[in-house]
Amino acid sequence: MKNMTQASLQTKKPTIEVWQRKDGSWIVNAPISSVRIGETDREQVKKKNCVDYLMDISVFVGKSENDCRKWLDRNRQGLVKLGTPYEVA
């Protein structure tokens, strides 16, 4: 029983995913920093009143998996930057 509790508390590593919706369209989902998209105030994170967190956001919808893969190849670097949590030095 102890192993099940430990396994359920572990979080999966955030990854960029391409998957198909029920309506047949394809989506690129990516973990995005709440500070980098403006949902959490950067100054409040600096003052340690708030914390930055990653949330999965659909960033592209395409007609095929190939469309999504091509879009991801062109935009991966930007998504990696958006997915980097804001940290105070």
The predicted-structure confidence for 63-74, as pLDDT tens digits, reads as follows 999 999 999 999
Place 13 in a pLDDT band, splitting at 50, 70 and 90. Answer: confident
pLDDT of residue 11: 56
pLDDT of residue 1 exceeding 50, the answer is: no
pTM across the whole model: 0.75
pLDDT of residue 10: 56
Instruction: Please give the full DSSP string across 22-73, using - where no structure is assigned.
Output: TTS-EEEEEEEETTTTTSS-HHHHHTTSS---EEEEEEEEESSHHHHHHHHH
Where in the chain are the domains?
Answer: 14-82
